[in-house]
Structure 1
């Protein structure tokens, strides 16, 4: 298969550089159709490979907390996209074989395959296999006329066409299935941008959408006739108000042994002279005015930093990595330090590189932040943790994974 895919890659590469401008219009359209069909067939191959890797447990064997995380690192996918890929690969492998064949033949797209699979699953819960096959056949046929969105609408009443006697009961089952899909697909993505801002994207299920609107809508009204903020700006400020209220409630769970809080790093001289910017522990930059405002109601923790910003000393020697030492660790690692992991500090444990029971000390040079999965994985694997020349952690993979055992680092938490 690898050789065949390599040959296909060479052929496609030749087409990339081919002069499309020289083709007459009929051939140009035919080429577009052929490329689109090839894209669909390659998707079927990709899904087969994903299913096989997931079934073998390869991602977890290589240290990933899940197949979705492994795909994100390997293929640079987002986690929601990776999960959708795994779900579809599983559904095509275990469901109606006609759907996979239609995709492999280039007759349907990945999005259409997902819709038909979801519909087939719903139909299977309320009827027999023969009726489900009829439903799949009808939807595959309609796929040549309708896109995925319209196909899903048709799928909600598919039994009106293939089994009208049970259509009403199936319609309720379809609603229930849609609710389950909404719960499965719910997510919120936080994307750090280069200018220090944070972009929020996501999909809320119906219940959470109601909670969200009920919470921020009362805070989004204009504050008066002189309020020039746009509706989007008012919603932004309302979300900030809700977060401040939550932090003041004392009902949020602890974060690594400390109360929920925001941590700002700046220099003492810059703070007192009102000139320096500050950095949040999640990597975002704050203006001098914002740092001064936050410092009015904050605890100031002295910490010795080196010239490149690494934490040199916090003056604590004890077994548990909490309080000032943990905050120093967060400033250095900024999240789970295992390569490819993007878990934030609040989800992480502080791990002794050289175990305390074996004589290891509790200081910054012997500590690393690890999420729960990678903390457990490191205790039961042959990975080696060490500090690099710049004082940041790096991980040496076992020889079976990388014969050269080249040290690896986490790049998801880098700020420069």
Structure 2
């Protein structure tokens, strides 16, 4: 079979006109191409394994396959080395007369079907490589199946955590892991006031207070891990600090020990018409701030420190919400035991950073009971309100999330394994 490498300029008129695509079709087209890219990566790995089996010097004249890749496809040495190591782990080879079996054949099959890419394959390979030789072949195979099945819907951090749990089960006498020392916060926090109507702060205080504030915000301001659903965190440093400050305020207002106002906990009042709240179209008014969107009002109604006031057509108050309508302290404790933190797949936010979200929205007469509540961090709380992700309580009384069709056409339910009990 002869392959010809084309150097012709592609016919731009023959390419799809993406602006014509509906939203779901556009996103599904991207996912389809990602699967094809993963499949082609796996085929390239098979080729590299065959080159090594034949002898790279005999085939290409290069001393190593990595050196060949650096020159042939113009990639960095680190990337070339990673490709070669991945190809060795996923594919069988022969060295002279000796046959070298693949380290991860099940992962290789998933890669060839487009299910797994390098981000999922590398932590699986690392986990299998780290198992001691005393582990039986049957246990290795079972462990690989577990990790690959998880990796079809999980990101690198979840796979790495599952791999660590697997290694501890298969090799309980291994070296006990040592927690890394915490990194001292070394970032600055700056808030500014803009003339476009956005709100901001400027803070001047002593060095000790700044150090304490930065220490409190630093864990909340780290870049989010890349996920299949949302990709890489593209926020700037100042945006991360701004989001961290928002999380800090939310955690503070949920603290029962904060000072009270006339014997009542600190609260915020948001006012909106009932029709606008149900439809999500229109505006509400946030006490001491001003106008906000109806969709934002609906999201805030999940917060147990926000008191919603719904108005009739003539502006008369129809209903003034009470904090007891939403998650009570006892319910939050129950949710913390059940969800252990943000329940969204792949999120490791602790329960202190989470809001009790109504699965059936309060505006749609959703009840405040454990079977209609789920803990979500602010990022995934907003995602649930403004995307095609769905959440429900499964038959075992635990929350599960239904991805949009462009992520998974079958819309198979997913769960968070980051808080799983070991």
Common fold by TM > 0.5:
no
Could you say which TM-score interval applies, normalised by the shorter chain? 0.3 to 0.5
More helix per residue: 1 or 2?
Answer: 1
Q: Which has the higher contact order (CA 8 A, sep 6+)?
A: 2
